[in-house]
Each structure stands twice: as structure tokens, then as C-alpha cells.
A and B are shown apart, each in its own frame.
Chain A
Amino acid sequence: MTTQMFGAPIRRKEDPRLVTGGGRYLDDLGHDALAAAFVRSPHAHARIVDIDASEAIEVEGVVGIYVHEDLPGRVGEPLPLLIPHPTLTHGRTGYALAKDEVNHVGEPIVMVVATDRYVAEDACQRIRITYDQLPVVVGIEAARSGELLVHDDVPDNVAAHMLQEVGDVDAAMASAPHTLTLDLDIERSACMPMEGKGVYARWDRDRGELRMYSSTQTSTGVRAAVAAKLDLPLAKVECIAPDVGGGFGVKIVHPWPEEVLVPWAAILLGRPVKWAEDRREHFISAAHERGQLQRVTVGFDDEGHLLALDVKLWHDNGAYTPYGIIVPIITSTQLLGPYKPGTYRCEFWSLYTNTVLVTPYRGAGRPQGCFAMERTMDAIADELGLDRAEVRSRNFILPSEMPWDHGLLFQDGRPLKYDSGDFPASLAKLKDLVGWDDFADYRRQAEAEGRKVGLGIGCYVEGTGVGPYEGGHIQIETSGRVNVSTGLTSQGQGHETVFAQIVAQELGVRMEDVFVTTGDTRKMAYAVGTFASRAAVMSGSAIALAARNVRAKALRIAADALEVSPEDLEIVEGTVRVKGAPATSMSLGTVSVLSNPLRYAFDEAAKAATQFAGTFDPDKPPVADDEEPGLEGKDFYSPTQATFANGMHAAIVETDPVTAEIKILRYCVIHDCGTMINPMIVEGQVHGGVAQGVGGALYERMAYDESGQLLNASFMDFLMPYASEVPTIEADHLETPSPLNPLGIKGAGEAGCIPVSAVIASAIEDAEGFPITRMPISPYDLWELRRRHADGEIPSLHRTSRTTSTPSTSSKEPTA
């Protein structure tokens, strides 16, 4: 048999290229292109009174200066609202260049095209814009009050109001033996890929063809949107995602203003034009996420079983809603995690503010939902004096209850139905890994040394691999080279490796003979994009199906040539051979030769394939009626619903008794994404996710002042964690295969970041003895909370006035 490729921790094929500077990112392309730069609004809310570009036009090297009134037809119309929803009654989108009014700092107003970016920025600096400033709405409280409006025609700043209810929550709540209410707050953060956005466009005037490159998560989406905006036939637009230096969600939104304007300018000027986003632009004109206020009311019995869960969410969607209300929908549905809520009602308001728009960021609303649910679980445990893991366990959906239909509609408009998962097994593994039952002893020892430590836990379920579809195309050349193409894009996840593993396994070829292309509309015109932890599930499945088609065709052709039955053949390391008689064989390259009858011989292999070579049946056409020339196959995968991955994390933290500095001593992960294609890549995804989660829990926030200025729009003050801030991650896996796809896989891309804020809040609360209801938390925040707790403004946990810890005989030292 061929070496097992699927499931093996193989090193990434793309890494030698990417880590030695061989990657080709957007700004590595188009050195002959003109450069675009933008004048962006310095005000959060203002009317544009006048734009004076007279000084700028004098700058040597300026080629063009454009404002909204220069934009023709659809280019000047509002950008599309990509994902409409019946409850999004007041969806609003901006213009490629602001028309009359700006609604957040950073909104583009003027585009300058010049010989290079330096000159373009010099010109930008000389453009004078007169504004009439308008009242500014910053923060959810201000938006919710509705006193001031972001958009005059949107009452109360409410873009969408949505309610889903399963069961009679009011009745269940009224009869519940216990109820609790929690008010929670989770702040803004952002994707912050290393590479910002970028667009490069070339116009071939003679052929009337546009080729554009974008640092995007969806080249097919950008292509269609740009063709529509510029009124070009789809056939005359190509979009290519080159190497992309991270996306994390922000690059799934499209078309960004620049994705419309740069190709438009390239056509207008007949010259290539490029724009590469700088970091400040990314902070103030891309997108943010997180940002919710939450009120959870929960009813439960004496054992901690949920009877009623009533959740209200106020979601800050920023100035516009081009990506719809995906984020709050996900929060409101995925909040339930691995639990049965008894009865459930979730109502949310998606609110406008004069800030950068909010679109999905890795986790996409789930970290907020997980925070709400897991804070609630800890509160129930504290109220009843029960172990926090035990309360969770009592509410788990059991494996025997799968598939579990929550009775809600998920983000794809399909039922929220869990396909698989073994939550009790995951929890057992987690407790074992972190030493849950020995923590009381560890805490006692630490306290004796004057140290404060706490243990936290968080569980989540993640709907991954949403549709509608992806495709895979495989072609085997006469050399034996296997070309694989899928339309969704890569941002560094290792697609070249995992897709090759799937093909190597399915076809029986060597990894090094497989070459994967992603995100190129010339190779695969039908595709959706890379988001929602869907690449492995969707494209992986499609590629597996395509590989099976190719394999069947190869066996058919080889069986004919070798005069055996296809069932008697196997493919090992690129050679088709008779089982048990490996000498009777031919390479896949030869099969490829046979698959394509040629009229012209241009080399030895081709000579063997001409229609005069070998023997043939004169009664049959060279290509059979039900065949196509070439050894290739294509297929699409389109599931009925998402597949649900899950995970459980635990952390031990230490807080400095004086300075309130917070250190994560241990971070443990149990992760279940079904069958793993490559465990090393899965762990890499988990590690990266946890790192971003740690950022969201302890470091990152968007510091807007009252006037809507973002005070920390640089890497000096927006605190992404360095490697030195990310703890060692101890990860273990459970594999409960998905019954929904041919490979049994579930998505893994977002998993790591989802529960981190919940886990760290849980651990800090456990260390401090008072509730943590707002994340992220800094040493200064914690110091303030201690002061307020000491002043009686914040109550203690019940457990501090109760003796719940029971001595145990063993103790397990956490290892930092």
C-alpha cells in the first residue's frame, strides 16, 4: 500500500517557499503600476462641504484625483449589501468614495493616483476638505439610547432586531427554583492580518480584459462584484488571490471600496494601478469585531439543570452593514454550546455607531456567545455551591442524543442541528489534562506562599463548513504530475499540504507529485470562499470526490490497456498495477497519455498517444461517447448543513497580589474536529487561535474616544500578544467523525480562539473571588475591580463564604 498520507503529521509543502521569502504577496506584484492613496475622513460623523484639490494637482507625478462625483454609474452607487436578511430592516452600506457624508474616521473620500505611493501621499496631504461636523455616536450605550443617530433615516440606530425562541421561556422561568441575571460586556478587537488588504489591476485595452489581484478570502466573489460594478462581462474579468498574509475574516468582505476603485482607475487610465493598505488604514478603514453588551437571565433547578435561558444582545455593527448580521446571528445560536437550554429565547439588536464597520473575525460571534454561556455556567455553580465542571456536565447533550436539533435557524438559514460530538468524553479528557480534581490542593499550596491562583474552564460548539458548495478539479499530466485546483483561497493555512494529502491518499500518488492551486478564477470559476472554518470540509470533500472520479477513470483506461478488470487494479505511488502481480503495471502518466488521443506527436510520450499508435477498435471513436479526453476529474461538494466541531479549554492563572498583573500558568485544550487530515496543521490552527484568544482576553481593545477617534491605531498601542505573551499550549484531541461528509472531517480554523475570554475570565474570577463580567481585562482593570470590590461595589462570589474545597490526597503541580 501507499504510505498513509491522510491523517499524517506531514510538514507543510508551502513552508520552504513562504519562510525563505519566496512568497509572492500583493505588494510583491506590479512594480510598474501606478500607486493609489486615499484621503480618509478625520471625523467620525460629518457632512462634506467642499473638497479643494487645487494644490494637490500641482504635485509632480500625480496622474489623477477622484472624488465621488467622478464615479460613473454603478461605481458611484452604494456598495452591495452582501448578505441580506429579513430582520435586517435598515441595512446601510457606504460608497466607494464618500458622497456628502462620512460616518466613521477612515472612510475614503478622495483617491489619488500617482507615479508612486510617496507622491500619492504628498498629494493627499495637500487636499483641503471642509466639513460640517455632526454629533457622534460611539459605544453601544450611546447607540442603544437612540438620542443621537448615525443615519438620519434609521430610528434608534437599529439596523436589525431579531428574536428566536424555542419553548415557553417565560413559563419555564417563572416556575424555575432559581434564577440569575448577568450583565456582560465584551469589547472590540480586530483580525489584524500581518498583510493588510491590497488590490492590483491591469487592463488589456485590446482584448477588453481586466486582470486583478486582490489579497482576498474570495476571488470568485470579488470577480463577480467587480464585473457587476464596472459593467464588464464576467468572462472579461479574472481575479487572482496571490499568497495572502492572513485574513481571519476581514478579507471575506467584498468588494472593499479599493477593490472597485483600483480596477476602475486602471481601465480609465489604461495603466496598471496598485494599492497596498498600510497599517493605519487597516485600523481605521477595514473592519473590527467582538463588541457586545449582553444580558443573560437563566432559570435552573437545584441540581443546576437549565430550565430557561433568556438572552438579550446589543451588538455594535459600526457605521455600515455590508456583511449583514452574520455575527450576531452566530452569537445568538452558537451561544448554546454543548448544552441543552431547556427553553431558549435570544433577542438581539444590531446597532449603528460612528466607528469602523464590524464583520466576522475568527470565531465570528462565537467568542461572545461562549462568554455569555460560560459566565452563566460559572454563576450557576457558584449559586448552588457545585463544581463548575459538574454543572456543565449535567447540561451536556449526550452522544446518544445526536443528531441534536436545537430548533433554531443557523447563520446559513438552515436548522441548527449538531451532527456529532462526545462532550462527556471531551470533558473527562480536559479534567485529566489540567488536573481539575487536584487544583484545590494546588491552590492551598500557592496561597501558603502568598500567591493567588485560579482555574478556569470554557466549552464551545462551532458550526463549521457551511455551504453552499466548493469544487475540486484534478488533472494528471503525461509526466505524472497531478494538478489540483479549488476555487477558495488560502491565507497561510496549509491548503497546499492538506489538499495534496487528500489527493495522495485517494489517488495513490506521491505528495511531491501533487500541485495545488487555490483562489484563481482562471482555474476554477465556481467557488465561495475561505471563511467559517470551511476549507477542509468543503474543498477537501470536493477534492476527494474529484480524486475518486479521476481514479475511476484511470482504472478504466488502465484496465482496458492491461486487459484486466478495473477491480483487479490498485494505484501505488503513481503506478497502476494488478493486485498481487505488480509487474503488470503502467504509470499514471502513461494512463494520461492513453486518455488523450493526439493527432500530433511533439515528443516521445505524445508519439505513443497519436491516433495511429497502438491498436484500436475501428468501430469505436477515439474518444468514447461517455468519455472526455484527458485524465482529469471534477466534482463539487454541497452539504445539507454545517458540521459541528467542539472543544473545551481550561487555564490556570496567577494574579499578582499587589500589581494585579495576570499570568497564564497553564493553558489546556481538548479539541474535536472529527477526523484530522494533518494533526500538525490542526494543532497549528489551535495554537494560533488560542494566541488570538489571549489577545482578546488580556490585551486587545479598540480605544475610541468620545469623538470617535481611534486612539490606539498602531501596533505600538494596540496590543497584539507577542510570542512572549502566549502561554505554552497543551493540546489533546478527540476525533468524533462527522457523518455528513466523505472524509468525516469538521472545520478547525476558528476553534482555538472561541472560548479563551470565557476561560480566562473564569480563572481570574476563581483567583480573585469576585465576578468578572467584562473582557478583555488588563492589570489596571483588575486593580480597579479589586478596589471596587474592597469598597463593596462588587459582591464576592458565594464560594468565598463557603467551604467547598475537599482535601484530596494527591496533588499535581502545574508546570508553567
Chain B
Amino acid sequence: MKPAPFEHHAPLTVEQAVSVLTEVGHDGKVLAGGQSLIPILNMRLASPAHLVDINRVAGLDTVEVTAEAVRVGALVRHAGLERSESAYAALPLLRQALVNVAHPAIRNRGTTVGSIAHADAAGEMPAILALTDGVVEVAGPSGTREIAWSDFFLGALETSLAAEELAVAVRFGRFPAGTGTAFTEAARRHGDYAMAGVGVALTVADGVVSGARASFVSVTDVPSVLDLGPVLDGVEPGSGEWDAALDTAAEAVRGHVDPEGDIHASADYRRMLVTELTRRVLPQAADRATTPAPNAAFDRGSAVTTLSSTSSTAFGGQGASHD
């Protein structure tokens, strides 16, 4: 479990990084937090001849909140974004999802942008980029460009990022006022890759739903968004129609996802699971849509994750909420 020989590059600027990437082409791999890459190298599942270590590149470690988005630089660690109060105030979904990313030790090193560039369908943050209609900011030899999430993810571990390009930031889009979000997943053990996970955003206007969408973890081959507006719009959360609408939404999820089985659970089980998780997580989002944001709850997930995990740390004096 030792990596094959490689050359280590330590650029100090984005330009230098892009220059090295351009030079080494497909023989190069970008190293940020290394939480996926290093085990892959150690197991010799990949043996790139060049590692472009961007950890010394200046200016990539900031979180910026604008009216439209939360912009996250390529060296922002999951833990940093998770603990950013301004990011949480602007987009509570980020923290709601990030606490499900592996374990604290991994979140302390792993970067959010790296996780998105890795494009693992079992990763939480690619799904969140999709749910927020986000974009990836990319630097390449001929300057910078932006790639919409829907053009970014091409397949399992495959993106439209070119070999000579560096993802320098992502922007998670903010939701309109009156939107509640929630995220939950079920894993075999606390912090494992989820058997299934779902994030939802639901907007309530004048007491009724006016827009709802969901995206998924581990049950689609690339991140995708399911528009639940057609089945939930116009329904008042908690009303007589609500339960039936949730059932219809869950059925829509069942039809949308396309999970694969593995040694931990079959495809059928995962389909059932994500359907049930959606059924449980939508009311949570609806509650939050009608509660002044950012709400006082520190999100850990739905009843399902409560059942399979112990409580988590509360940040910023906010209490843990399990329901």
C-alpha cells in the first residue's frame, strides 16, 4: 500500500498550476485534500506520473456570500464551509448536507470543490451543487470559464473538466425567500458512503407550495434534479391533501432514480430507501419554509438518520435537532 513513483509539483498561483497541468496533460492529477486521491494512489488503483499539489496556491481558501450564491474556493475544507456562519445564514442546506460527509477528520482535510471534481455519485456535495443549480468556475490555459452543474457531471467519476484545467471554485445558488431545505441519508455506519441520500428544497408562498426539487446521493449515476413542483405546487403543507401529495412525490422519486446493487444493499432496497427518505424529509423542508431563516435547528437529518446514528456536535450554540 505504497504509491508508485510520481513527481510532486507545488505551484504557488493558479497560473502556475494551470501551466503544470497543461504540460503534464493526462499524466497529472490535482491534489487538494487528498481524501479520495491518496487511498487510490496507495492501493495503486491509479498511478499518475505527476501530482499537482494546489495547497500552496494563494487565494483559493475563501467562502464568499453574494445575493445570488455562496462561492466556495478550491481550498476550502468541508469543515470550514460547514462552520461558516455566513454560508449557513445564506444557504442552510450546505451545513445540512456537510455534516453527512464522512467523519470530522476527513472533513478537516477534504475540500468541497475536490469532492465535486471527483464526481462520485455517492458524494453529497455533487448532489448539493445540482440541487442549488450551481456552477463550477474553471481556470485553463486560455483563461477562465464557468460550467453549469448539468454540463459538468458526465458520468461516474467523470466530468467535463479538461486535463489542463483547474476547478478554482464552485458557486452554490441561493433559494428564493420562503424556501426550506433538508437533507438526509442512510448509511450502514455513521459517516459511511450512503446507501441512499436525498436533499430537497421546497418553497412556500401564500401558504402553499410554489416550487420543490430534490437531488440524490448513491441512487443515480450522475447528480440529477427531480422537479417535484408538478406534484406539490399549490398544496398546503399539513393540509388534507398533503399526505397524498407526499405519496405522489415519493412515487415520482421511485421512478426517477436508478440505483445499482452492491454488497451492502440491493437496487430494490435502495429504491425503497430513497423513496422513504424523501417522504420523511419533505415535511422537514416544509416546516423550515414557514419558519424564519436561518432557523435555530442544527440539521442532522431525518428520522432515518436519527435511527442509525448518534447525535452530532452542535456549532455556534445551536442545539441538535432530531425528529
- Given A121-B2, A280-B43, A719-B188: A656 touches B307 (CB 8 Å cut-off): yes
Q: What does the 1/0 interface line of A239-253 toward B look like (CB < 8 Å)? A: 000000000000000
CB of B42 to closest CB in A, whole Å: 9
Q: Is A326 an interface residue (CB 8 A)?
A: no
| A-chain residues with CB within 8 Å of residue B94 when the two chains form the complex | none
B contact residues around A806 at 8 Å (CB): none
- Contact assessment for A711 and B186 in the assembled complex, using a CB-CB cutoff below 8 Å: no
**Separation in Å of the B192 CB from the closest CB of chain A?**
7
Q: Is the CB of A661 within 8 A of B304?
A: yes
**Listed stretches A137-145, A573-581, A776-784; interface member:** A776-784
Of A351-359, A391-399, A523-531, A721-729, which stretch is located at the interface?
A: A721-729
Q: Evaluate contact between B188 and A654: CB separation under 8 angstroms.
A: no
In A653-687, which residues have CB < 8 Å from any B CB? 654, 656, 658-659, 661, 663
A790 to chain B, nearest CB (A): 13
> Smallest Cβ distance from A532 to chain B, in angstroms?
30
- Asked if A390 is at the interface (CB within 8 A of a chain B CB), the reply is no
CB interface residues, A 695-741, toward B, < 8 Å: 699, 703, 711-712, 714, 716-717, 719, 721-722, 724-725
Alpha-carbon gap, A122 to B5, bound state (A): 8
Contact partner, B265, options A278, A717, A779, Cβ 8 Å: A779
Partner of A279, one of B1, B4, B263: B1
Nearest-Cβ distance from residue B264 to partner chain A, whole angstroms: 7
A431 on interface, CB distance cutoff 8 Å:
no
CA distance A481 to B198 in the complex (A): 63
CB of A659 within 8 A of CB of B190, answer no
In the complex, B309 has a CB within 8 A of chain A? yes
Fill in one digit per residue for B185-218: 1 if any A CB lies within 8 Å of its CB, else 0.
0101111110100000000000000000000000
Contact among A658, A703, A717 with B276 in the assembled complex (CB-CB below 8 Å): A658
A278 to B2, CA, bound (A): 10
- Whether, in the assembled complex, A117 has its beta carbon less than 8 Å from a beta carbon of chain B, the answer is yes
Select the residue from B44, B304, B307 with max chain A CB neighbours within 10 A. Answer: B307
Docked CA distance A794–B191 (Å) = 34
State whether A780 and B264 are in contact (beta carbons under 8 Å apart), knowing that A722-B189, A725-B190 are contacts in the complex: yes
**Contact indicator A659/B263 (Cβ below 8 Å):** no
Q: Which residues of A contact B3 (CB under 8 A)?
A: 118
Q: How far is the CB of A665 from chain B (nearest CB, A)?
A: 10
Total interface residues on B, CB under 8 Å, equals 29
| B310 contacts across to A, CB distance below 8 A | 724
Task: List the B side residues contacting A125 at CB < 8 Å.
Answer: 4, 44
> A residues within 8 A CB of B44?
121, 125
Q: Which residues of B contact A703 (CB under 8 A)?
A: 263
Q: Interface 1/0s, chain B 249-272, versus A by CB < 8 A?
A: 000000000000001111001001
In the bound assembly, the distance between CA atoms of A548 and B125 in angstroms comes to 66
Which single member of B1, B269, B276 contacts A780 (CB below 8 Å)? B269
Q: Looking across the interface, which residue of chain A has its beta carbon closest to that of B196?
A: A659
B97 sits at the interface (CB 8 A) = no
Picked from B186, B188, B265, the residue with its CB within 8 Å of the CB of A699 is B188
> Given the complex, which residues of B lie within 8 Å of A656, measured CB to CB?
304, 307
Instruction: Please indicate which of the listed interface residues A699, A703, A711, A717 has the most CB atoms of chain B within 10 Å of its own CB.
Output: A717
Give residues 154-193 of B contacting A (CB, 8 Å): 186, 188-193
Give Cα A783 to B189, complex, Å: 17
Q: Which of A122, A658, A724, A778 contacts B4 (CB 8 A)?
A: A122
Taking a contact as CB atoms under 8 Å apart, the answer to whether A118 and B2 are in contact is yes
With both chains docked as a complex, state the minimum distance between the C-beta of A451 and any C-beta of chain B, in angstroms.
10
List B303-317 residues whose CB lies under 8 Å from chain A: 304, 307-310
Q: Are A783 and B269 in contact (CB under 8 A)?
A: yes
Given contacts A659-B276, A712-B263, A783-B269, contact A722 B190 (CB under 8 A): yes
Q: Which of A121, A278, A659 has the most CB of B within 10 A?
A: A659
- Residue in contact with B307 in the complex, picked from A654, A712, A714, A724, CB distance below 8 Å: A654
With contacts A703-B263, A717-B263, A778-B264 taken as known, whether A659 is within 8 angstroms of B191 at the C-beta atoms is no
Cα–Cα, bound, A278→B43 (Å): 10
- Least distance between A35 CB and chain B CB atoms (Å): 9
Residues in A with CB closer than 8 Å to B264 are 717, 719, 778, 780
Interface hits, B84-100 → A, CB 8 Å? none
B273 within 8 A of A: yes
Closest to A780 in B: B265
**B189→A719 contact, CB < 8 A:** yes
Residue of A nearest to B263 (CB): A703
User: Whole-angstrom distance between the alpha carbons of A712 and B272 in the complex?
Assistant: 24
Cβ contact within 8 Å between A663 and B307: yes
Nearest B residue to A724 by beta-carbon distance? Answer: B190
User: Are A659 and B304 in contact, CB atoms less than 8 angstroms apart?
Assistant: yes
Residues of B within 8 A of A784 (CB): 266, 269
Q: Mark B30-67, 1 if CB is under 8 A from A, else 0.
A: 00000000010001100000000000000000000000
Report the minimum CB–CB distance from B107 to chain A (whole Å). 15
CA of A712 to CA of B264 in the docked complex: distance in angstroms? Answer: 10
Residue of B nearest to A281 (CB): B1
Q: Is the CB of B2 within 8 A of A659?
A: no
Question: Nearest-CB distance from A742 to chain B (Å)?
Answer: 44
CB atoms of B189 and A659 under 8 A apart:
no
Q: Which of A328-372 contact B (CB under 8 A)?
A: none
User: Which residues of B1-43 have CB atoms within 8 Å of chain A's CB atoms?
Assistant: 1-5, 39, 43
Whether the pair B191, A724 counts as a contact (CB closer than 8 A) is: yes
Contact A661 B189 (CB under 8 A): no
Min distance, Cβ A703 to any Cβ of chain B, angstroms: 4
| A722–B191 touching, CB < 8 Å | yes
A279 cross-chain contacts in B, Cβ below 8 A? 1
Question: In the complex, are the beta carbons of B269 and A661 less than 8 A apart?
Answer: no
> What A residues does B189 contact at CB under 8 A?
699, 719, 721-722, 724-725
Which partner residue on chain A sits nearest B43 by CB separation?
Answer: A280
Q: Contact at B186–A659, with CB atoms within 8 Å?
A: yes
B190: A residues at CB distance < 8 A:
722, 724-725
A118, B307: Cα distance in complex, Å: 44
With contact pairs A118-B2, A719-B188, A724-B190 given, residues A663 and B263 touching in the complex (Cβ less than 8 Å): no
**A659 with B272, Cβ < 8 A, contacts A121-B2, A712-B263, A780-B265 known:** yes
What are 29 contact pairs spanning A and B, CB under 8 A? Answer: A117-B2, A118-B3, A122-B4, A122-B5, A125-B44, A279-B1, A280-B1, A280-B43, A658-B272, A659-B186, A659-B307, A661-B307, A663-B308, A699-B188, A699-B189, A711-B263, A712-B263, A714-B43, A716-B192, A719-B188, A721-B189, A722-B191, A724-B190, A778-B188, A778-B265, A779-B188, A779-B265, A779-B269, A780-B264
Give 7 closest A-B pairs by Cβ, nearest first.
Answer: A724-B190, A780-B265, A278-B1, A703-B263, A118-B2, A780-B269, A724-B310
Known A121-B1, A121-B44, A722-B190; 13 more pairs at CB < 8 Å: A118-B5, A122-B4, A125-B4, A658-B272, A659-B186, A659-B307, A661-B307, A699-B189, A714-B43, A719-B188, A719-B264, A779-B186, A779-B269
**Chain A residues with a Cβ under 8 A of chain B:** 117-118, 121-122, 125, 278-280, 654, 656, 658-659, 661, 663, 699, 703, 711-712, 714, 716-717, 719, 721-722, 724-725, 778-780, 783-784
